[in-house]
Amino acid sequence: MEIVGENKFSVLVRYNGHTGNLYKSFDDDFSEPSFRKWFGEGRWTTIDTLSPASPSLQAYVDLRRSIFAGQSDFLDNRIEAVDEHAKFIAVAPSKDMVTSKSLLEHNQLWFVKGDDLWYRGRYCFNEGVPFTIADFQERGRHNSPGPRITLWEQEYLGYELKSGWKPKLRQRKMKVPRERWFTLTVHLILDDVEGNVRIWQDDQLVLDESVATLPASNSILNALEVGITATDAACEVLVDDVAISHSPLAELSMETSQP
């Protein structure tokens, strides 16, 4: 991949004879009342509804095409616009599936070694709790590795790097609420060896540890997945005010209480 140009908002790259922008920041408050209006240049790019009704790559890709063409509705797993929020619904995976998903994806981002990655989103767990709710992935590398935000024991925010030996960070300082909104804020310093992870739940710093945050030294985290990004149980999750950037996103005291 060749970098053609760069500014504070995006990187213009050339790959296989094609050029396009990869963005350094993105946000969405889901104010449009129609799910289909969330997509386009600089917006969300796709969805994933892996489920018992569409249990394979080909099945959920075919379903996605039909949904965007207006030829089909969602089946069991769903994504909806409700009261200016994004609503994600997922059923449990069948016994021969690894996981179930219901998520939005933006796959035109640019985060590399040495960058700061800031992420913020508001969440409400109406029913059940997924295993992961935000994934930062490297599309183009086998299995799309990258860091992700987890819910350990369906109660505690945590971290995992989906790559290699899968380094994990866990905490039991603060449980996530049920049927009430909370704000997740994440700050990653990106490095394949000496990275750093900080996670806040509302204004409480619950994790601050050094760990690998990139799959490889030449990784490009170009995809953000939000919603029910993996679950082994039925879930209903509301998400709002999503943002990702190289710079801090919210008024948050960096001196707030330590874990």
pLDDT tens figures, 164-188: 889 999 999 999 999 999 999 999 9
Contact 121, 226 (CB under 8 A): yes
Q: CB-side exposure of 23: number of CA atoms within 13 Å?
A: 16
Q: Give residue-wise pLDDT tens across range 60-106.
A: 999 999 999 999 999 999 999 999 999 999 999 999 999 999 999 99
- What average pLDDT does the structure give for the chain? 93
What is the C-alpha to C-alpha distance for residues 185 and 198, in angstroms, rounded to an integer? Answer: 8
Distance between CA 214 and CA 148 in Å, rounded?
A: 11
Q: What is the distance between the alpha carbons of residues 11 and 25, in angstroms, rounded to a whole number?
A: 11
Q: How far apart are CA 124 and CA 183, in angstroms?
A: 9
Q: For residue 257, what pLDDT is reported? A: 34
**Which of the four pLDDT bands, split at 50, 70 and 90, describes residue 41?**
confident
* Res 254: pLDDT: 39
CB atoms within 10 A of CB 208: 15
At 256 the pLDDT is: 36
Q: With pLDDT > 70 as the criterion, what percentage of the chain qualifies?
A: 96
pTM reported for the whole predicted model? 0.93
Q: How far is CA 258 from the centre of its chain?
A: 25
Look at residue 231 and tell me whether its pLDDT is greater than 90.
Answer: yes
pLDDT (0 to 100) of residue 110: 97
Q: What does 46-104 look like in DSSP terms, one character per residue?
A: EEE--BTTB-SHHHHHHHHHHHHTTS----SSEEEEETTEEEEEEPPPPTT-S-EEEEE
Condensed to tens digits (0 to 9), the pLDDT of residues 111-125 reads 999 999 999 999 999
**How far apart, in whole angstroms, are the C-alpha atoms of residue 102 and residue 87?**
9
pLDDT bin (cut points 50, 70, 90) of residue 250 is: low
Closest-CA residue to 184 (of 168, 195, 197)? 197
pLDDT tens digits for 133-157?
999 999 989 889 999 999 999 999 9
Sequence-distant (6+) residues with CB within 8 A of 191 are: 113, 114, 212, 213, 214
Nearest to 186 by CA among 207, 171, 169, 170: 207
Element (H, E) at 200: strand 196-201
Angle, alpha carbons 189-145-7 (nearest 5°): 50
Report residue 68: phi and psi, to 5°: -70, -30
The DSSP 8-state label assigned to residue 109 in this structure reads B
Residue 227 predicted with pLDDT over 90: yes
